[in-house]
Amino acid sequence: LIHTLEKQAFDRLYGLESLSLRENCLVTLAPNQFHFNDHLSTVLLDHNQLAFLPPVLFDPITMVDELYELDLSNNKLRRMPYLETKEISLLKLDNNQIETLTVNKSLNVRVLQVQNNNLYDVDLFKFVRTEHIDLSHNNVENIVGLHEMQMLEYLDLSSNNVSKFDYSLKYSIRTISSLVTLRLQNCSLSEHNIEGLLASESIMNLDLSQNNFVQLNVTHLSRLRALVYLSLNFNYLRELVNYERLRHEFPYLELVSLSFNRWNCSYYDQLNAYLNYSHIRSTSDARDCYVNGTHVADSFITDVFEPLYTMNHVKRDMAVLRNLGRNTIYFLYALFSTTRAQANATLGNQQRFDQQLHSLEHDVDRLLGMLAFLVAIFAALLFVAIAYGCYWVVRRWQHDRAVKVVTYNKRANEFSNGVTVNEVVQDNVSVA
């Protein structure tokens, strides 16, 4: 892991375009660290220990193009760093400890991600060119300058308490004519504080999921004339007041999400019928409703629902339950579940056995191949050894055949085997 960087570490890398120093232990960077890297477009510094960045980290005069991506997420930054650059397309500051979002000079950032920090004070007056900003999962209490962001297209304020800055938000949404997507998940919104909050002729995508709505009057959102997608998932909705005016109030509405609420099945049936009639698609499940306090989607008949399940099927199956009794259904469902689980387990075991058998066959083939190779080598060595032994036996036999063994009789002054003195002398002379 890298703890420190030399000031001249990248000075000679003039053509450097992308640099990743992520997942190290960097605590700080030297001023002018990247001054000689004029073509640098991507710098990844996430998952380090950075608590401060010098403003002259880059040289805005010599840099050829804007910085495409600067990732400073998952560090220990406590304040918004100001960097002298021409422009930053994507600046990631999520998962730090930033408390205030304030800079003294205009910062040209197109996409700003500051989610999962400790933000309570947000000053956006210097971010007039920003198009996408994510402030979710913070503790925002004050937000100013939002109305000046006339290029803003995406705003995420999820997991903040909007009630603490609802007036500023209400005024800003009216004045930002470019805003297309607004996300307000988990913002403690309810039917008591939503009226008049959202008035925009440009918003097309609105996310109000994970709030506290028990009922919602469609007319409270009537100023969102350009709305195309609306999400109300994970609320406590029992009633969508004036839902028959959805098509009139939102002429461009194509998709609405209503899942995981507290709908009564009879009411939900009527609502779905209206959506189908108005050609408004819904991601909701017809089982996502309650009959006598029982959530149909969580009941014991869920797994045997037909693929295209409608409210008529719900009513039919609830009647079957009442007629047959719960114990019978429990027994049949338990029997079916057990049988299916055993069949799945058997199939899984068979597949694992086939895989093991195939692996074993492959290993045996490899062992047989190695054994054949070793036998061939041993046979070759044995043949060479036998040939070499035969060769030396023949040489020895030829040598022994050429040698004549004689004895000398001193009294008779003669040699055995009919060998004369002249022959002995001649052989000795030739040997010498």
pLDDT in tens, 193-250: 888 888 889 999 999 999 999 999 999 998 999 999 999 999 999 999 999 999 999 9
Query: Mean pLDDT over residues 74-85, rounded?
Result: 87
Residue 309 pLDDT > 50? no
- Using the structure block, give the residue that is written with the tokens 């402030």: 135
Looking at per-residue confidence, does 71 or 39 come out higher? 71
Residue 258 pLDDT > 90? yes
Query: Mean pLDDT over residues 395-419, rounded?
Result: 68
Residue 300 pLDDT > 70? no
pTM, two decimal places: 0.67
For residue 313, the one-letter residue type is: H
Give residue 431's pLDDT: 46
**Average pLDDT value for the chain:** 83
Residue 380 pLDDT > 70? yes
Q: 290 near 296, Cβ under 8 Å?
A: yes
Question: In b/e form, how buried is each residue of 66-96, taking b as 16+ CB within 10 angstroms?
Answer: ebbebbbbbbebebbbbbebeebbbbbbbbb
Give residue 340's pLDDT: 79
Looking at per-residue confidence, does 176 or 301 come out higher? 176
Give residue 104's pLDDT: 65
- pLDDT per residue as tens digits for the range 320-357: 555 555 566 667 767 777 887 788 888 888 888 888 88
Residue 430 pLDDT > 60? no
Fold of the CATH domain 18-303: 3.80.10
